[in-house]
Structure 1
């Protein structure tokens, strides 16, 4: 890696007026959490035997409910939808898979029944597509008039309109009817959002792009207000959320102690102190109890990657960054002697973290996985170096040059690969070959990550963004550039949808990791960089998911 800079390129004068200053520096706000999570102890987060028994009792009740509800009924569709949105779908994977398989096998027969309404058809379509079943979208033609437009009478069917809006999020390239459905439903729902919390929440963040733990809290009150809600399901989801929250609190306490012991904030005062935010990020990738080891590993890796990002973007001189990149490429403790003092400590810590990860993998007989994690980290820093060369030289690359490098610096290729490293269930080696080959699913995720980051960071980033490159290459306005890049993001979501339907040989557990990583980006980089500026939106999300339990009294008026 590390191609030569094109000396004939146009200078990037607007952002490099101070380029003669060797060391850049940005001041980030300190952690909003300080030592808050250090106060959590194993005693505070302990799950009692009574709570475990009650959870198991309610789980069996929900299983019975699933068993007695006919697969060909709207009640089964609603039940599966509620289970998934309440964040308890991982308890009932076998039962829901069997029901969805039946719905897939009888899809045509069911959709063309005369009494099938818009809401039922759209809900079935969404549940199947989000599970990776390809079902045709022509079933929505029955709701068009003779002129080929959606019937105006649908506007009064609010639940059907909302269901169609959510279903249309799963469209792929060429499905024009879903494009029309999305425009039609969005237009009419916009006029209703002030009178409906459910519509407002959907327009802000559709189900397809939502994070399970965040969605659960939003959906809980909506579900409770639904007259057809099931009390057992409601109680089970509340208890499950609270017990998982205790597990997560125990983990974040452990992560906070690890981070504090590294003393990075004292030794490297130019970095973002975002250990808690990093854990929230990874919790969104996998919140289920069986992924505890994977969460801890990936949180530590994202913490180290965040420091590396700050070294390349905000502090290191170009000469230092060349030395640092070569040291990481060598992956040898002896390379520490070539580094400036502030890099020495971090480099040793970086190697130590990966050694500890390898030791953890040894306990589950999967040490070979560390090779893929290190390889992706090396690829990441080489791309960071190329990016730094552009900044220091004042070179504005073409969009093609930019995206080739910046899809790597987005970090999602590294994160997606490393997300598989700590999964204790079976992950075939072929999955690592696939995910490191930069398949379309990973590239599309990286496009979303990179462009969303650039759209919100263009005003304050001390480096070149896609906005700069496109404006420079095409000679267009910022408004036109933003419109083009947002279209690229929408197309990348269609690529993701397409891949989820076609990657039949890749386990869903892997595909879900990639999509969840994309969803995190979609949440944290909408309208602002919530990771860097974590005092606002992200702080509220951490409080909701990691601090505030759900009080059952609020929903049952006890």
Structure 2
């Protein structure tokens, strides 16, 4: 690309974004208060029954852990956070001997590992050694255990840097499960097929719940009460989300002088939005929160401007130079403090912590930037844009684009390991709820750019069915 001088007329490549897929259906949503009341009453009764199951002292650890996993995958565990935390802490402190007890098969051990890791308990990977040979490789004999292999596969996504046994586990289980699929029967076949496309730990929890509810219904051993509970609760939350969508579906904008026509609505919306935020937060004694979101937006715009200069001049920076800027243009440095504004217990010290770019935020920005770069590469090249991330790596290291994209995904996967480490106790130095906000942004990236697809630019294939599941189609109960 030829460099442009200051007198050159620059024509910005246009993205052919499709029109809105949704029309005015969210704007026109009307909630049925009678249905909400009916569902809510039924859910309250069911909550009491499930709480009794969770807290029953005579229930075996294996059965309770299985119940916790089922509740989480059905999307109703948030009703029992304290009870689940108490049980997991109790079980973790037992220091269970997973090696010698025959009751702890591959499925059970890997399930326990995943649950403990998901909740921040630093359980050791040594519990997997009973299934490895003298060289640390997994025994071929476990390949016939499809349920256990699937559980090990899901557990491997909770690994941190240096846990080579789980790196090996991921490669081993992925290859084995792919070869098993044709011979499996549903619902296990459906679970394996979905996991190979969307690992549980990388998935958006509500969407994973929607998928699992349907598969759990096909299980031979299932709890019908939990199925009904999950469907009612999903529908209730969907109604709430529709009401929120109605409230945010765009604004009546006027014209603002002094700006190009196409920028005026956005500028006015941002100004009005943050004025409103500050007013509402002031009533909570948290007006300072809006400041950090605004500063994040300023930093984002400055970095966008620098990237634009690279593109206009046709310059390719060194990859590391690009990445320093790219971490900001991932947008998470702006979106995370914006999300914290809506969390009542997020205090000023939490925003200051974010401002210092903690490791988990850097990991999220890395994932957001590089997975985006890989997913949007083809589209950017077609539009005549400079796909800076991939092209910088190609030029600097003399590799082909496929090798560059593979390396970017490798760096992103290492960032996932950093996130997993930061979510563990005692290195978990902030509220896990706040850290989970950051984790969920990483999950959003994984889902949106699945299989190198740019779900933001072309939502029809990737995001449309997910949005339908989340906001449109309710479960029949």
- Superposed displacement of residue 221, structure 1: 2.2
Q: Which residue of 2 aligns with 1:471?
A: 394
Q: Which residue of 2 aligns with 1:490?
A: 413
- Give the whole-Å Cα distance in 1 for the aligned partners of 2:68 and 2:272: 44
Partner-residue secondary structure (3-state), 2:459: coil
Change (3 A) 1:103 1:156: same
Q: Which residue of 1 aligns with 2:222?
A: 229
- Give the whole-Å Cα distance in 1 for the aligned partners of 2:48 and 2:175: 42
State the aligned residue count.
Answer: 464
2:74–2:209 Cα contact (<8 Å) kept: yes
Q: Which residue of 2 aligns with 1:373?
A: 293
Matched, 1:40 2:33: no
Q: How do residues 200-239 of structure 1 correspond to structure 2 at under 5 angstroms?
A: 200-239=193-232
Q: How do residues 295-310 of structure 1 correspond to structure 2 at under 5 angstroms?
A: none
Change (3 A) 1:260 1:46: farther
- Give the whole-Å Cα distance in 2 for the aligned partners of 1:69 and 1:205: 35
Q: Unaligned stretches of 5+ in structure 1?
A: 1-11, 268-335, 553-558
Change (3 A) 1:112 1:443: farther
- Superposed displacement of residue 492, structure 1: 1.1
1:126–1:167 Cα contact (<8 Å) kept: yes
Partner-residue secondary structure (3-state), 1:39: coil
Matched, 1:545 2:470: yes
1:359–1:367 Cα contact (<8 Å) kept: yes
Change (3 A) 1:156 1:250: same
Change (3 A) 1:146 1:110: closer
Q: Which residue of 1 aligns with 2:151?
A: 163
2:74–2:230 Cα contact (<8 Å) kept: yes
2:251–2:269 Cα contact (<8 Å) kept: no
2:61–2:91 Cα contact (<8 Å) kept: no
- Name the TM-score, length of structure 1 as normaliser: 0.79
- Superposed displacement of residue 79, structure 1: 0.5
- Superposed displacement of residue 475, structure 1: 1.5
2:43–2:232 Cα contact (<8 Å) kept: yes
* Aligned mate of 1:85, from 73, 98, 110: 73
* Aligned mate of 2:369, from 445, 450, 475: 450
Matched, 1:105 2:65: no
1:224–1:234 Cα contact (<8 Å) kept: yes
- Superposed displacement of residue 384, structure 1: 0.7
- Superposed displacement of residue 47, structure 1: 4.5
Q: How do residues 244-263 of structure 1 correspond to structure 2 at under 5 angstroms?
A: 244-256=237-249, 259-262=250-253
- Superposed displacement of residue 464, structure 1: 3.5
Provide, for residues 226-250 of structure 1, a one-character-per-residue CA deviation record: whole Å limited to 9, x for no partner.
2332122111111100111111111
Matched, 1:512 2:459: no
2:29–2:246 Cα contact (<8 Å) kept: yes
Change (3 A) 1:253 1:225: same
Change (3 A) 1:532 1:511: same
Q: Which residue of 2 aligns with 1:404?
A: 324
Q: Which residue of 1 aligns with 2:40?
A: 52
Partner-residue secondary structure (3-state), 2:217: helix
- Give the whole-Å Cα distance in 2 for the aligned partners of 1:226 and 1:523: 26
Q: Which residue of 1 aligns with 2:63?
A: 75
- Give the whole-Å Cα distance in 2 for the aligned partners of 1:417 and 1:241: 28
Partner-residue secondary structure (3-state), 1:192: helix
Q: Which residue of 1 aligns with 2:353?
A: 434
Change (3 A) 1:35 1:176: same
- Superposed displacement of residue 340, structure 1: 3.7
Partner-residue secondary structure (3-state), 1:92: helix
Q: Which residue of 2 aligns with 1:30?
A: 19
- Give the whole-Å Cα distance in 2 for the aligned partners of 1:47 and 1:433: 43
Q: Which residue of 1 aligns with 2:122?
A: 134
Change (3 A) 1:521 1:69: farther
- Name the TM-score, length of structure 2 as normaliser: 0.92
Moved more, 128-137 or 431-440: 431-440
Moved more, 191-200 or 62-71: 62-71
- Superposed displacement of residue 112, structure 1: 4.4
Partner-residue secondary structure (3-state), 2:252: helix
- Superposed displacement of residue 46, structure 1: 6.0
Change (3 A) 1:352 1:185: same
Q: Which residue of 2 aligns with 1:535?
A: 460
Q: Which residue of 2 aligns with 1:325?
A: none
